[in-house]
Amino acid sequence: MSAPTHFPPEIIESILRRVPAKSLGRFKSVSKPWCSLISNPKFIKTHLLTNQNNHKHKTPKLILISDTTKSLYSLDINTETAKELTFPPHQILWEEILGSCNGLVLAKDENDTVFIINPTTRDLSKVPVSPFALPARESFVMYGFGYDSCTEDYKVISISFWDTDNEYNPDCTDMLVNVYSLRNDTWKNLDNSPYDHAVGNLISGVLVNEKLHWLTSTRSGYSSTIAAFSLSNEEFNEIELPDSIENDRAVFNELVELGGKLGMFGTILGNEMWVMDEYGVSESWRKIEVVGIDIDPVKPLCLVDGCDRYIVFGDEDGVVVYNVNERSVRIVGSPNGFSIGGTYVETLESPQMYLN
């Protein structure tokens, strides 16, 4: 019998950089050197960068919230299996998913406490309450979450405004913008948003091209527009709507990220959705017809294996894969008793790594 082959450490590291994150979690038990390497922040960042292009061509996992137990579940579209996500020793009753980036998920519990979690590694970090936050019972708030590559930092954005139907502040229409830096573990207050976010749906910002997007109205004339907040310079700019969409009604649709592209759908659009093929170029909006899906309204969730021929749609009534070219539907399963929070990819990213 031949002696076992011993590879140099640099060869082992090069191989492990290409191993899926979930498998690496198990490989920590192989040896102390492997555990030390896989847990190293530099390796984790290199692993993320090595696999980022691969993530664009893999089907993200859906993250679900049980209506009864308030537990989180992960649903794999390809295997059609759902697994419960626990974060020991914490027992958290989850309420809403607020965003996802690089395998990290922004989530809120039933007490309105916000966390940054990694569903793959089960790491968890609590986001402190903003000192600039409006009183919860007198206001509304929407969030956004993303990564700023310029500062190598994850940021949480909150846009809050007074409940104008509330007796306390009936005339205040300011849109307050706060930014939380994970690396600094602090909040800061920015200038108010120049847009009216108190229209349409109170949904989280959609992350595309390191910008968070909301369907809003302009202050002058109250015409609909897409407001894009840059995570690097922390300023807003506008993205033009598709030409054929009625401007005064567009704000009542919803935005979505599909394979790294900005998309728009909703009941106002009927059986169609739009995808911006080239970010920021209004002429690149492309219409996709959606027919034969018994989910109303249809909500696009992600692409299958990065191919825009197959789009995953779903809501509390079920999850389906839609073939755009053939206009055919494959039923994945019914998440009865669950609400779909969003999607995520499997990585080793840890919020604790940025806090240290």
Listed by start position, the domains of the chain span 9-39, 50-355
pTM for the whole thing?
0.90
Euclidean distance between CA atoms 61 and 341, whole angstroms: 11
156 token code pair: 């949480």
Q: For residues 191-205, give the mean pLDDT.
A: 85
Side-chain-facing half-sphere of 190: CA atoms under 13 Å? 21
With bands split at pLDDT 50, 70 and 90, how would you rate the model's confidence at 269?
low
Instruction: Assess contact for 295 and 314: CB atoms under 8 A.
Output: yes
Euclidean distance between CA atoms 313 and 331, whole angstroms: 10
* pLDDT for position 184: 95
Q: How far from the centroid of its chain's Cα atoms is residue 317's Cα?
A: 21
Q: Decide which of 329 and 154 is more confident.
A: 154
With bands split at pLDDT 50, 70 and 90, how would you rate the model's confidence at 31?
confident
Q: Decide which of 26 and 101 is more confident.
A: 101
| Percent share of the chain, pLDDT over 70 | 90
| Percent share of the chain, pLDDT over 90 | 47
CATH classification of 50-355, choosing from 2.120.10.80, 2.60.40.10, 3.90.199.10, 2.120.10.30? 2.120.10.80
Q: For residues 317-326, give the mean pLDDT.
A: 87
* pLDDT for position 43: 80
Q: What is the largest CA-CA distance in the chain?
A: 84
17 token code pair: 């950089």
Q: For residues 147-173, give the mean pLDDT.
A: 79
User: Of how many residues is the chain composed?
Assistant: 356
Pairing mode, strands 81-85 and 94-101? unpaired
353-99-101-176 Cα dihedral, nearest 10 degrees: -80
The overall average pLDDT reported for the chain is 86
* 12 exposure class (CB count in 10 Å sphere: 0-12, 13-18, 19+): middle
